[in-house]
């Protein structure tokens, strides 16, 4: 129901915020300079760029003041929902904004001030740039979806926990919003032209996730990172399409988190039915026989193309569930909920899916992107120490190939990571995901740049295949493979000895192997590496370090003697 709008300040029971207090820039009504915008106070297609700049400057000033005053006024645990109606495009002369030109001309003689709604992206950026608010994404059911509107939720950082909602539409509205505190609601503040539902789902839901965006155009998706995210049903439900969900997990994870995930998918959402398939745990089960169990369950449950697959587990589950989603009915939606460090920082991001073949690792698969990745860092509480260390191999990799500052941070904080310090791990996961998301956004199908993420993997995959799938964890094999790649880089004269030492030192501190198992021979390495995915025209291409820390190359142009010498140095025969 529409509120009676007011322009006064706040009181105990009612607070009024006037969005139209965003003033017309003084220079546009300066009678001494009537030619600036032909005497107009609105933006038209013929307005010079200085007019748009003036409105932008004025908006930043006035909206900053608005946010400051509201954050001070709100009661602890209060909630503010602000509906913004304005243009969606950043271009004020876009066709969707022409109505402002018409209305401006019609009302020119009737008003002294006319609001200039800002694009939603600028409002989002402004609100988040203040220290008062943090971004929080809310859920919307499919029936509520409106392609012509968008929502953003902000929570005040301190002293209160509140939400601010902004939406834009094509409707003309002078921009006034009334905020009122209904009696009987503990500190909650609502501002609405439409009814607003309380999104709270318990104490843990107040934890705002960090969001890393994987930018792939129409297939872009968010990575949510934070503690207690499985207690926020809206994060999952907003990415579920259709009424049927298949959760794919394993015998280790199911007793720990399956019920919680089912609850998150169905809470307040009775129309959704959830089926589950529980697979055996381990790399040795990442094969066609196990994959068929997923297809069997999907077909028996009569899932259709509107269903959603959910991968709950580590890298093996994520790879198999994603591949099943890519193949079932030629493609259905899927969501990643990684529960290991390895999966959270690497395998769940980027859309690589697949299974192993007896002759090589990940030789059968597809590039298939998820709808979202939900990283609940609380799942690491149940992760065995060996699995935790294994995941750190991928974290270390990012620093070596492209982020020297991150590597230096790891050197200073490795003991905190090994001690499972939550703040250190949250940062490591975020920074790793940012690095991978950037690479994937630039090279989704691994035509060049993305291949650099495979530092140590060519040697490492050979270890996993030759030694036997599951004998070593993936990260353990990658760690040993990284040492071998670094050794070869040094033999080629591409890096100095200090980098070799730093790599060995940090892997030892992470309790990771720095050499392959004794069973591996030179011939075993060569035979497995000959069928590696990075072989092109019979030429084995490798990811090697070159230059200062944080730089690498993906190349087949190297002295073969250096490769032979490295293999001989690490193998007995």
Residues forming the active site: 330, 352, 394, 436, 446, 450, 454, 457, 461, 474
Closest CA to 375 of 222, 157, 174: 222
282 touches 315 (CB < 8 A): no
Q: What backbone torsions phi and psi does residue 252 show, to the nearest 5 degrees?
A: -85, -45
Q: Which residue bears the tokens 């597809």?
A: 366
| CA-CA-CA-CA dihedral for 393, 394, 399, 400, to nearest 10 | 70
> Would you state the structure tokens that stand for residue 558, as one six-digit string?
């190297």
Q: Interior CA angle at 482 toward 477 and 488, to 5°?
A: 130
Cα distance between residue 263 and residue 266, in whole Å: 5
Spatial CB neighbours of 387, under 8 Å, sequence gap ≥ 6: 314, 340, 341, 342, 473
d(CA 213, CA 209): 12
Paired strand residues for 153: 136, 165
Query: Is the distance from CB of 22 to CB of 57 less than 8 angstroms?
Result: no
Q: Which of 341, 403, 387 has the alpha carbon at shortest distance from 552?
A: 403
> Taking a C-beta distance cutoff of 8 angstroms, is the pair 390, 384 a contact?
no
Nearest to 181 by CA among 193, 172, 170, 190: 190
What CA–CA distance (Å, rounded) separates 65 from 55? 15
Q: In sequence order, what are the beta bridge partners of 352?
A: 367
Which residue do the tokens 């399409």 mark? Answer: 241
Contacts of 5 (CB under 8 A, 6+ apart): 16, 18, 176, 177, 178
Residues 6+ apart with CB under 8 A from 128: 134, 135, 154
- Which two tokens mark 260? 């919680």
Pairing of strands 244-250, 308-313: parallel
Tokens, residue 421? 């310090």
φ/ψ (deg, to 5) at 531:
-110, 15
Q: Which whole-number Å values give the CA distances from 82 to 76, 107, 113, 498, in the listed order?
A: 17, 26, 22, 55
SS (H, E, C) 216-266: CHHHCEEEEEECCHHHCHHHHHCCCCCCEEEEEEECCCHHHHHHHHHHHHH
């Amino acid at each position: 129901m529409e509120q009676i709008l007011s322009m006064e300040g706040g009181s105990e029971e009612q607070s009024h915020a006037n969005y139209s207090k965003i003033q017309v820039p003084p220079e546009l009504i300066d009678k001494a300079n009537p030619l600036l915008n032909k005497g107009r106070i609105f933006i038209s297609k013929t307005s010079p760029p200085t007019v748009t700049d003036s409105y932008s400057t004025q908006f930043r000033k006035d909206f900053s003041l608005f946010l400051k005053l509201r954050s001070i006024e709100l009661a602890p645990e209060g909630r503010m929902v602000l509906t913004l109606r304005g243009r969606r495009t950043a271009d004020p002369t876009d066709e969707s904004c022409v109505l402002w030109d018409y209305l401006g001309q019609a009302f020119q003689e009737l008003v002294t001030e006319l609001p200039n709604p800002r694009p939603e992206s600028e409002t989002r950026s402004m609100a988040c740039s203040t220290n008062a608010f943090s971004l929080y994404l809310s859920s919307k059911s499919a029936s509520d979806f409106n392609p012509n509107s968008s929502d953003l939720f902000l929570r005040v950082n301190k002293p209160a926990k509140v939400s601010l909602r902004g939406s834009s539409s094509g409707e003309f509205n002078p921009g006034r919003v009334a905020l009122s505190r209904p009696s009987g609601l503990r500190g909650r503040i609502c501002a609405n032209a439409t009814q607003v539902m309380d999104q709270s789902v318990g104490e843990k839901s107040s934890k705002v996730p960090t969001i890393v965006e994987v930018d792939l155009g129409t297939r872009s998706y968010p990575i949510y990172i934070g503690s207690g995210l499985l207690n926020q049903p809206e994060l999952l439900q907003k990415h579920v399409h259709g009424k049927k969900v298949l959760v794919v997990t394993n015998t280790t994870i199911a007793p720990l988190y399956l019920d919680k995930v089912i609850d998150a998918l169905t809470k307040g959402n009775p129309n959704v039915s959830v089926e589950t398939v529980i697979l055996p745990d381990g790399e040795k089960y990442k094969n066609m026989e196990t994959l068929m169990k997923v297809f069997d369950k999907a077909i028996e449950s009569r899932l259709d193309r509107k269903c959603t697959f959910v991968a709950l587990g580590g890298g093996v589950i994520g790879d198999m569930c994603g591949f099943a989603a890519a193949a079932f009915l030629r493609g259905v939606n899927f969501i990643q909920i990684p529960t290991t460090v390895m999966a959270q920082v690497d395998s769940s991001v980027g859309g690589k899916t697949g299974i192993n073949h007896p002759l090589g690792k990940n030789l059968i698969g597809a590039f298939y992107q998820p709808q979202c990745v939900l990283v609940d860092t609380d799942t690491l509480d149940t992760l065995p120490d060996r699995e935790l260390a294994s995941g750190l191999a991928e974290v270390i990799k990012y620093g070596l190939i492209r982020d020297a500052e991150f590597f230096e941070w790891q050197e200073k904080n490795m003991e905190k990571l090994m001690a499972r310090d939550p703040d250190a791990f949250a940062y490591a996961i975020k920074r790793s995901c940012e690095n991978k998301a950037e690479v994937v956004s630039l090279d989704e199908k691994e035509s060049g740049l993305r291949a650099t993420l495979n530092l140590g993997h060519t040697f490492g995959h050979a270890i996993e295949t030759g030694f036997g799938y599951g004998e070593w964890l993936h990260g353990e094999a990658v760690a040993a493979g990284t040492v071998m790649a670094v050794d070869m880089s040094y033999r080629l004269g591409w890096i100095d000895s200090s980098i070799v030492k730093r790599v060995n030192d940090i892997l030892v501190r992470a309790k990771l192997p720095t050499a392959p198992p004794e069973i591996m021979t030179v011939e075993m390495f060569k035979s497995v590496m000959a069928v590696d995915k990075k072989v092109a025209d019979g030429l084995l291409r490798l990811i090697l370090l070159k230059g200062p820390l944080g730089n690498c190359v993906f190349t087949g142009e190297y002295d073969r003697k250096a490769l032979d010498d490295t293999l001989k140095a690490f193998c007995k025969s």
